[in-house]
Structure 1
Amino acid sequence: MAALPAVQDYRALAHKRLARMARDYLEGGAEDLRTLGRNRKAYDALLFKPTVLTDVTSVDASVEVLGQPLAMPAVVGPTGLNGLYYPRAEEALATAAHRAGLPFVVSTASTSLLEDVRRASDGELWLQLYVQRDRGISQRMMERARAAGYSVLMLTVDTPVHGVRDHDIRNGFKMPLRITSRLMADVITHPRWCLRMLRQGGSPQLVNLARSAGTAVNLAAQAAAMSRQMDMSLDWQDIDWLRAHWPGRLLVKGILSVDDALKARATGVDGIVLSNHGGRQLESAPSPLELLPAVAEAAGSAMTVMMDGGIRRGSDIVKARALGAQAVLLGRAPLYGLAARGPRGVDEVLQILRRECETTLRLLGCPRAAELSPSVFQPAWKERLKAL
């Protein structure tokens, strides 16, 4: 079957193939989904100002971020419980990212071991870290990542507790899964998804967390480790503790204000990721894109600024880069490809985004992504963002 035309088509196919609980976990946001919707509205608010009669025979979507070349201004970002969508999900995402010339970020809540992901890919691998109350778990996670050649640590700071996610409550989605008549009906009506789960031995396991926590490989113990032990005392002074255990590049993910961006810069971290956790944590939070210009200006050249949230088109990547993000993190989009068509679906989604990015550069009359700036927008772009 030929590749589908757009990320949205992979999303639609993923919806058909995933059991409802898996689909809702992938797509859902916090409370009434206002933050989730705001992420997309921010992109829609920006209008381009193309320049014509410019030589765009060749275009270059590549950029350099943290000293690493990227084929386009994007990183395949961290997402948890990916085994809900396809067996050995992280290995598939990592190998597709490498083929696309992009780094891949493995989540603390991954369903594949750090070491297995490294064996599957020779590409750039980063580790996303949640810090548990027992900090020995995080220390062991960092040690394992260093030993496996991971180059960047991404500390997520916006999840001291889980946001209120009504869809998970309605579906009874929590770990370990409780067998109910509703769940059984959901599984039976999605035989393709059911067979995928059986191929990996049933429900996906948080094996990465279990390995570092010394926890038995069963979902009840892993779920307890993930929820009960999140360190709610973590503060800016703990950056020094992380530095003592991680000699490589360090990013802080979950920034949503200029003030916190400046605090991050003062600690000497290498960069930040503007993020509202894909609309899944705090309801009525701003979108990263609307904060990006002010944060990028405040950060200056002292640290790298990236962002995530709502990227569905190559033109979205171009908009973020033009407003000051060195790169975006791709979250749901690659997962749509994975859930829809397996590993080749991830390849196809990343190819679509790269192709759309290059097409947008050509139509803008800006042949190099590295040279993007707010000048590619209509003059009223600031007002349009403020009106969200």
Structure 2
Amino acid sequence: MKKLLLVATIASLSATATASIETKDWYEFASPEAKKFVQEAIVLDFFASPSAVGFTEDSEVAKYIDLAHERGITGASVTIAAPHTPNMLSFKSEHAKWTKALSSAKTPIRYVKNAKDFQLADKNGEYAVMWASQTTMPLEGDASNVAVMAEYGIKTMQLTYNETELTGSGVISMINGDKSGLTHFGKEVIDEMVKHGITVDLSHTSHYTTKGITDYMQKHHKGVPVIYSHSPIASTYRCEPHETLSETKQRMAEKKLQKDHPDYRLSACYRLISDEQAKAVADMGGVIAVTATEWMMDGVWPEDISPLQFAEMIDGAVKVVGIDHVGIATDDMMTTAKVIPFTIANADKYADNGYMVEAFKKGSTGCAELSKHIAGVVDALWEMGYSDDDLAKLFGENLIRVYEQTWIPSA
């Protein structure tokens, strides 16, 4: 049985929900068949909405979750550690804030402990929540604290968030010229993650560090897959993900492109990954979940992303790594209203020559809220020739397969 909804109390949210208010709602344009498919499938999201940035009131989370559940979203990977959590104390505080906010939803919440919880949430009319960390800063330089993160329910973790951490370099450090990769401490953290059943996540991590991670995993943890939890593939958009800021500046000068030219770029599309990076993860049995957050794309879309554009992003990834190695991840911040001030306040973590802020100026204001897009994405992928079985893999089955393999603590 799909969602056991309290229809009378939740249906009104379709007209009044304010979550991701900047995101255009494409739901009414989707076919009845697509809406039905979403209700019957397992559909997993990924969003990064820290308290005070993604939401300030518990009611905002409640409305977001209730609308998602009403429209067939099974659950999501929820980020509770990133730039706003520089130590273990702040991580625990964020965990408490999110747990409190989720308790205000009308939809019953199932906190994910193992991969079967996604199916159980789907069957019982619950919304599945799995915790994710986009940084290792809460470890405070002590790899044994991975066990604490595991006790708090962290199921996936990045080794870096944009900048260089004790574990290795991030994408922002890379475009600023940092060529360092995976550190000895990073290897210790990986060992502890595998030991405690936490999936290694490569998003936000420089290509030097990702290469170090995949090489190390292949040698010391062979058979254990990794993921990119929210990283589009650069070749889909013919953009360069690995240029430094100086290299981008030089390329713009050689092409004689000025800032008002549509092809002018302030930096590389650093949040996207190369075909080589994607294939390395696919060869390990992992998954690349592409994110539809517009400001990552630096003007590719000068308007809110459409379901068709989201589907084209998915299709581009499938063309590179195959249907068994692609997932979806909006990376939704719920609202963009606080994102720019947050970026400015954390300038060291977003030192991208103004790339991200400029994308907002160009019109990239939506967050690609999944409940407002997914049915339309189904229609678009069907039109491209994808089967129902294909969509089931893309929307959840591929990631669940990886979770089943990686969430078993090693002996």
TM-score band, normalised by shorter chain = 0.3 to 0.5
Give the structure-2-normalised TM-score: 0.44
Q: TM-score, normalised by structure 1?
A: 0.46
**Which fold has the larger relative contact order, with Cα–Cα distance below 8 Å and residues 6 or more apart in sequence?**
1
